[in-house]
């Protein structure tokens, strides 16, 4: 089904608002204006220099590491939550049923975090907050020997981590500018992040308490928090540096065309 939809998409998905047939002229003009404001006058053409910018930018790898560390947990919950619950003295059938509420908690958390993250226009603090909630859940899973606290821990772990996965990907996209560079950065982040699925397959090996798996996950969450703190500091430092450059060189938005090929290195990009 995925391959079929992909083939149909090639023919029926429109590449740009300028080429769409279902928009009215007023709708087309509005969308083009919004996209222009979002692009900060940066180039949208295809050029290999933007590919080089993406792979040479250390921020791409910072975001990839954040996403990877979070996705290890996301895959672990999806793959092993029935086994974990079953090892907490539930039958196999009940374990399958009881594996649903943690994902429901993750869904609700994703919606709430997404709304407020967009409302406040920040990403890092929400990633850190979600990771801390998930960390509390895994501490419960690691320390508890009874079923009820461990199940609460599983719900907290899912409710905390799944919102961070979506926000981390949005953060990676919003921190890269220029259409081509942004696309390459998002592809690299997702590609590296999916390696988390490989890791999660090999850490839940010590039945019945899974101390190795839970301990490894807590380490990944701690590293994700540290990397998010570094990214927040780094972006803040870069923005202040660019603000100083704009003041010193009298750079304003009307000179945006001069920096259209610089991507997010443009002094006008924040």
**180-209 pLDDT per residue, tens:** 778 888 888 888 888 887 888 888 777 777
Taking each helix axis as running N to C, give the angle between helix 211-249 and helix 147-174, from 0 to 180 degrees, rounded to the nearest 10.
30
Give yes or no for a contact between 171 and 124, defined as CB atoms under 8 angstroms apart: yes
Predicted TM-score (pTM) of the model is 0.80
**230-250 pLDDT per residue, tens:** 999 988 888 788 777 777 777
Backbone angles phi, psi at 251, to 5 degrees: -90, 125
What confidence score (pLDDT) does residue 253 get? 63
What confidence score (pLDDT) does residue 33 get? 79
Tell me the two tokens of residue 246: 């704009």
């Amino acid at each position: 089904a995925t391959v079929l939809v992909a083939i149909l998409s090639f023919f029926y998905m429109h590449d740009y608002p300028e080429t769409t047939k279902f928009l009215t002229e007023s709708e087309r003009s509005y969308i083009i204006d919004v996209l222009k404001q979002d692009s900060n006058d940066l180039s949208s053409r295809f050029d290999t220099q933007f590919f080089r910018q993406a792979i040479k930018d250390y921020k791409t790898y910072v975001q990839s590491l954040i996403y990877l560390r979070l996705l290890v947990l996301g895959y672990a919950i999806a793959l092993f939550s029935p086994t974990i619950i079953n090892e907490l003295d539930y039958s196999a059938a009940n374990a399958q049923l009881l594996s649903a509420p943690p994902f429901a908690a993750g869904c609700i958390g994703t919606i709430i975090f997404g709304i407020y993250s967009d409302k406040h226009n920040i990403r890092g603090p929400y990633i850190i907050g979600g990771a801390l909630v998930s960390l509390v859940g895994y501490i419960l899973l690691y320390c508890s020997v009874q079923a009820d606290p461990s199940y609460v821990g599983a719900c907290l772990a899912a409710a905390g981590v799944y919102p961070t996965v979506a926000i981390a990907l949005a953060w990676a996209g919003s921190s890269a500018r220029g259409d081509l560079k942004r696309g390459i950065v998002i592809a690299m982040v997702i590609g590296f992040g999916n390696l988390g699925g490989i890791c999660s397959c090999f850490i839940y090996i010590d039945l019945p308490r899974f101390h190795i798996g839970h301990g490894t996950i807590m380490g990944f969450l701690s590293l994700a928090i540290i990397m998010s703190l570094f990214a927040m500091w780094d972006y803040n430092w870069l923005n202040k540096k660019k603000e100083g450059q704009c003041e010193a060189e009298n750079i304003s938005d009307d000179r945006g065309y001069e920096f259209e090929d610089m991507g997010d290195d443009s002094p006008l990009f924040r």
